[in-house]
Amino acid sequence: MKLGGMSDDNGVPEAWPTRDSTVVEATPDNVMAVISDFPGYPEWSNSIRVTEVLTTGSDGNPSRVRFELLAGAIADEYVLVYSWSEDGRGVEWQLESSTLQSSQHGSYRLEPVAGGTRVDYELEIELAVPVIGSLRTRAERRILGDALSELKRRAEAR
């Protein structure tokens, strides 16, 4: 994940993807239930303050969701568009609009493993404005922590 409007030597914004994974002691269905329960995010995510499902697809899954995020000194209101895998083990999203981001793409992919579910997480964010490196680093840690460790805690408590 790259948070920040940093650019290369030619002035072109860079976007570096972050990838991480963890094993959750829960079934893929239980993990996906936490991921898809957007109204519950403010209960377990340290960064997400408000969520609102704007539209739902024909499969019953949320297709557009509005978020209000506060990650350290970084605050944003944004809408993501979701695409759910037919096997129920994956979801991808793209940024539709944001007060701070110029792009975002992410995904969760779930695989059953001995003792639970491996959760693979990818996220790439580019902000529309520059952010000081230390603020960016703190925000990255907070967002990644929510995406995996807090997700793990929530799914294992179900």
Q: Please tell me whether residue 106 adopts helix, strand or coil conformation.
A: strand
Q: Tell me what percent of the residues of the chain surpass a pLDDT of 70.
A: 78
Residue 141 has pLDDT above 90, yes or no: no
What pLDDT score was predicted for residue 4? 42
* pLDDT tens-digit map of 97-124: 999 889 999 999 999 999 999 999 998 8
The DSSP-derived string for 31-63 is HHHHHH-GGGHHHH-SSEEEEEEEEE-TTSSEE
What pLDDT score was predicted for residue 139? 61
What pLDDT score was predicted for residue 26? 98
What is the b/e burial string over 131-153, where b = at least 16 CB atoms within 10 angstroms of the residue's CB? beeeebebbbebbbebbbebbbe
Q: Name the architecture of domain 18-157.
A: 2-Layer Sandwich (3.30)
* pLDDT tens-digit map of 1-19: 334 444 444 444 445 467 8
Q: Which helix (H) or strand (E) holds 68?
A: strand 62-71
Mean pLDDT of the region 11-30:
77
Chain centre distance of CA 132: 21
What is the b/e burial string over 76-107, where b = at least 16 CB atoms within 10 angstroms of the residue's CB? bebebbbebeeeebbbbbebeebebbeebbbb
What pLDDT score was predicted for residue 140? 62
Where are the domains positioned within the chain?
18-157
Bigger pLDDT: 55 vs 135: 55
What pLDDT score was predicted for residue 12? 40
What's the rounded Cα separation, in Å, for the pair 3 and 125?
6
CB–CB of 107/93 below 8 Å? yes
